[in-house]
Amino acid sequence: MMSQDLERLKYAIVSPFHGGSHAYWANGYIQHSAYDWDTYSLPDKYWKWRMYGASIHLADQLASSGMIYDKILTTDMLDLALLKSLNTSMMPSATYTLYMHENQLVYPWSPTDRDPSLGRDHHYGFTNYTSALVADHCIFNSEYHRQSFINGAEKLLQKMPDYRSMETVKSIADKSSVIGIGIDLPRLPLKPKSSTPRILWNHRWEYDKNPKLFFDTLLAIKEQGIQFELVILGSKTSIIPSEFKDSIEKLKDNIAHVGYVESRSDYHNLIASCTHLPVTSNQDFFGISTVEGIAYGCIPLLPNRLAFAEHIDPEAYVGCFYTDDQEFREKLIIQLTSKSYDQDFSQEMQKYEWSTIAKSMDEIINHSTID
């Protein structure tokens, strides 16, 4: 099909959890895509209700628009099987691409969530599985995520009593691709870095980012007399881990900034001022905040697991990866006190530039049409 035919197609992003990194991804892709996208969205709260009920409201939005869309792109935070069934009579020829930011098959549960103890811990993962099953194509934000989803789906189905349809997992794998999240790379020379080592936290203030290891380590190296400054960014949630309040008070003399910033330019200026990015996450399917920190010149210290090995090569940069808490502390001290780790890894993040990512997304979404 010729490019002018593609330009006549109608494109819609259905974003059920439109805030934070999900909105950042959707808006960034729309800005850099070669095609015009309409957006249908709901606020980023009540995630469980979004997975159960967002499809009903968003299908109604699509119907009320009067538009007939050819390409619909949505995310893991809704029931795509339900959306597709409600939407088929109006848009029978639409193809659906599912972008997996995360999945509930392997995502760690919050210690304050009662669902696991009440036996309600399979529903959301099963919704992710059925959504992937009915999608025309699935895109994962990392190969680690793709593999963890495939493994998680197999384990979930194996728990079922009979008629497990295990072959469906392979069908999902066969129609899946990996495309990371785009970032805006620095365009102008950055201001000089802080002369004192400046450590960055730019993740959500949540338990799965493992703030305990992060702050316990900083408090320990402060007691050793190692000099550093600290910038704490990232959005807060309704339940903030206790480590934040207690540790921020104890580290107040080291803190150059604490708190979420609305302005993207202010955010970029702050991360650009930092020199080191020690990451303690227990769960990251991609790690957009980590990629941004590296792109803006921070020296990373990353767990040798999850998606981080896809960002920079752990064999080439051994000093930037750790396997346990003790090695994390030891290597952070070396990074902070040795000039041998004064490296710039920002070029490694060129692969995530939005223009590159959007082009890959466009090609995948239009694949069935081009064929």
The per-residue pLDDT for range 76-91, each reduced to its tens digit, is 999 999 999 999 999 9
Percentage of residues in the chain having pLDDT higher than 90: 80
Q: Which CATH number fits domain 3-182+353-370: 1.10.3720.10, 3.10.20.30, 3.40.50.10320, 3.40.50.2000?
A: 3.40.50.2000
- Please give the Cα distance from 205 to 232 (Å, whole number): 10
pLDDT band of 169, cuts 50, 70, 90: very high
The residue with greater pLDDT, 237 or 334, is 334
- Looking at the predicted structure, is the pLDDT value of residue 171 above 70? yes
- Looking at the predicted structure, is the pLDDT value of residue 369 above 60? no
Each residue's pLDDT tens digit, 13-39: 999 999 989 999 999 999 999 999 999
Q: Where in the chain is the domain with CATH 3.40.50.2000?
A: 3-182+353-370, 198-352
The pTM is what? 0.90
| pLDDT score at 1 | 43
- Please give the Cα distance from 247 to 235 (Å, whole number): 17
pLDDT band of 186, cuts 50, 70, 90: confident
The reply to whether CATH 3.40.50.2000 applies to domain 198-352 is: yes
Instruction: Report the pLDDT averaged over residues 154-175.
Output: 95
- Looking at the predicted structure, is the pLDDT value of residue 61 above 80? yes
- List 232's β-bridge partners, or say none: 201, 258
| pLDDT score at 187 | 75
